[in-house]
Chain A
Amino acid sequence: MNYQWDWGVLLREPYAGWLISGIGWTLLVSAGSWVVALAAGLLIGVARGLPNRLIRLAARCYVELFRNVPPLAQLFLWYFVFPEIVPKAVGLWIKRDMPEPELVTAVVAIGLFGGARVAEQVRAGIDAVGRHLLPAALATGLRPVQAYRLVLLPVGLRAIVGPLTSEFLVIFKMSSISLTIGVMDLTAESRHIENYTFHGFEAFAVATAVYLVLGLLISAAMSALDRRLRPAAIPT
């Protein structure tokens, strides 16, 4: 194997700049998708445990639908199909005037995919604490909505910080599929550098290292959060 090593290539312009901006896009897509996933996951996860059968069924359909279609196919549906099937004015706006169309599409697609996974964790968390706490909360005179907001969600979410960390990491890694619709994230930029310089080893190695470090940082931050929340948790 003859290969010309040159780690310095990563520090030269424009390649260093490409890497930095790639890291920025990866963080942006991941953070945006995580917000969407958490919001959708909370909503759907709570809905899956409600007494109303219709709501429960709709929530279950959401989870099955978004879990059983590959994320890449979902991304293409949002990017290529969604603007065509909505009313014409909306479709035109998405195609012409929506700011950062690739970023927004990636965040929505990856976020809603992640939402189905988060929903399952939320449901498990509420299930784990709800059996004992819901009757108790209702017995103290709380309305059902208050029982969820003040008791079940805070306690249930504390119980699933660990699984939510894994979901966050899944979304963080999944952010790389956004390159298929043209977001120049970290993975895309490392490929970009490889194409221009033929220094694939260095480019991919640095991307791998950055994913590792960021992943470790996310895990560390989440377990710090877990430790801070734990003393307040109610034993179930």
Chain B
Amino acid sequence: MDPFDWGVIARSMDFLAAGMALSALLVVVATLGGVVGGAGLAALRRSPRRFLSAPAAGYVGVMRSVPLVLVLFWFYFLVPLAIGRPIGALTSALVAFVLFEAAFYCEIIRAGIANVRRGQSQAAAATGLRPWQALRLVILPQALRAMVPVLLNQIIIVFQDTSLVYVVALRDFMTSASVIASRDGRPIEMYTLVAVVYFAICFVGSYALQRRRKLNYR
């Protein structure tokens, strides 16, 4: 076999681009769904009623202790069973990602709220705000400011996580590259490309985040 043939990348560009589009779709859905679900879970966990907070805490605990690969398998198996008919890997992967990442976003949101000093909610209460008003007008604006960098960083982690849909043969960027690697017998070129592309995106993303954070603290 020839030592290297980087032309394979150019020849499979369309296929790879479609894979990257799917990766992007997974990231967007997982992030939006995860933030909404995470906010709901965080609200439940903060509830003083134990029958609300305990199940939410249990859910978050379980999701955070099992491998994402197992969660993907779970929903690949469960979603068709729940719907009653076979369904593509994409739907089950999207459900798995939203439900999995919701647990992580829940913890980020909870930590953000917990880090606002206690005096703030006491002061808000003293000015006559109701608990919900205090949360909405005093606590959340401060918590959000602290949360945003962590939330953005989580998007980079989610992007890396999406490569794991390989295990249910969903053709994201990683899987598309691996399909071509084995079809054309070019693992060196394709996996190098995969590493370079993921690195470029994640490194630039996290570098920009770090810079932003430094500027904010100055």
- CB <8 Å contact, A211 and B70: yes
Our pick among A85, A187, A201 for the contact of B70 (Cβ within 8 Å) is A187
Could you say which residues of chain B place their CB within 8 Å of the CB of A207?
66, 70
Contact A70 to B160, CB < 8 A, known contacts A81-B187, A194-B77, A204-B70? yes
Contact with B along A178-197 (1 / 0, CB 8 A): 01100000010011001000
Asked, given contacts A76-B178, A77-B191, whether A211 binds B160 with beta carbons under 8 Å apart, the answer is no
Query: Among B62, B65, B73, B191, which residue has its beta carbon within 8 angstroms of that of A73?
Result: B191
Min CB gap B177→A, angstroms: 9
Choose from B73, B78, B160 the contact partner of A190 (Cβ within 8 Å): B73
**Shortest beta-carbon distance from B191 to chain A in Å:** 5
A5 within 8 A of B: no
B202 CB, min distance to chain A CBs, angstroms: 4
Once the chains bind, are A81 and B192 in contact (CB under 8 Å)? Answer: yes
Residues of A within 8 A of B164 (CB): 70, 72, 177
User: Once the chains bind, are A1 and B82 in contact (CB under 8 Å)?
Assistant: yes
Q: For B70, what are the chain A residues with a Cβ–Cβ distance below 8 Å?
A: 176, 187, 190, 204, 207-208, 211
Q: Which B167-203 residues have a C-beta within 8 angstroms of A?
A: 167, 174, 178, 181, 187-188, 191-192, 194-195, 198-199, 202-203
Interface size of A in residues (CB-CB distance below 8 Å) = 39
Contact in complex: A211, B191 (CB < 8 Å): no
Distance of A70 Cα from B164 Cα, bound (Å) = 9
* A-contacting residues, B84-99, CB 8 Å: 84
Contacts of B188 in A (CB 8 A): 80-81, 84-85
Whether A211 touches B195, Cβ cut-off 8 Å, given contacts A191-B73, A200-B77, is: no
Which B residues from 60 to 85 make CB contacts under 8 A with A? 62, 65-70, 73-74, 77-78, 81-82, 84
Interface flag for A215 (CB, 8 Å) = yes
A80 to chain B, nearest CB (A): 4
Q: Is A179's CB under 8 angstroms from B167's CB? A: yes
Whether B15 is near chain A, meaning CB under 8 Å from some CB there, is no
How far, in whole Å, are A211 and B64 apart by their CA atoms in the complex? 10
Asked if A1 and B187 sit within 8 Å, CB to CB, the answer is no
Instruction: Say yes or no: A65-B77 contact (C-beta < 8 A), given A176-B69, A180-B166.
Output: no
Query: Which residues in A have their C-beta under 8 angstroms from that of B82?
Result: 1
Interface SS majority for chain B: helix
The verdict on A21 contacting chain B, using a C-beta distance below 8 Å, is no
A70 cross-chain contacts in B, Cβ below 8 A: 160-161, 163-164, 174, 198
**How far apart are the CA atoms of A176 and B67 in the complex, in Å?**
7
Let me know if A179 and B191 touch, CB within 8 A.
no
Q: Say yes or no: is A174 at the interface (Cβ < 8 Å to chain B).
A: yes
B199 pairs with A68, CB closer than 8 A: yes
Chain A residues lying within 8 Å of B195, measured Cβ to Cβ, are 69, 73-74, 77
Residue numbers in B under 8 Å from A72 (CB-CB): 163-164, 166, 174
Q: In residues 77-106 of chain A, which contact B (Cβ within 8 Å)? A: 77, 80-81, 84-85
**In the complex, what residues of B have CB within 8 A of residue A71's CB?**
160
Q: Is B142 an interface residue (CB 8 A)?
A: no
Assess the B73–A204 pair: CB atoms within 8 A.
yes
A215 and B70 CA atoms in complex are apart in Å by 15
Q: Which residue of A lies closest to B65 (CB)?
A: A215
A-B CB contact pairs (8 Å), 5 listed: A69-B195, A80-B187, A80-B191, A84-B187, A177-B67
Taking Cβ atoms with an 8 Å cutoff, the residues of B that contact A are 62, 65-70, 73-74, 77-78, 81-82, 84, 160-161, 163-164, 166-167, 174, 178, 181, 187-188, 191-192, 194-195, 198-199, 202-203, 206
Q: Can you name 15 extra interface pairs (CB under 8 A) apart from A72-B164, A177-B164?
A: A1-B81, A3-B81, A64-B203, A68-B198, A72-B166, A73-B194, A76-B194, A80-B191, A84-B187, A173-B66, A190-B73, A191-B73, A200-B81, A211-B67, A212-B66
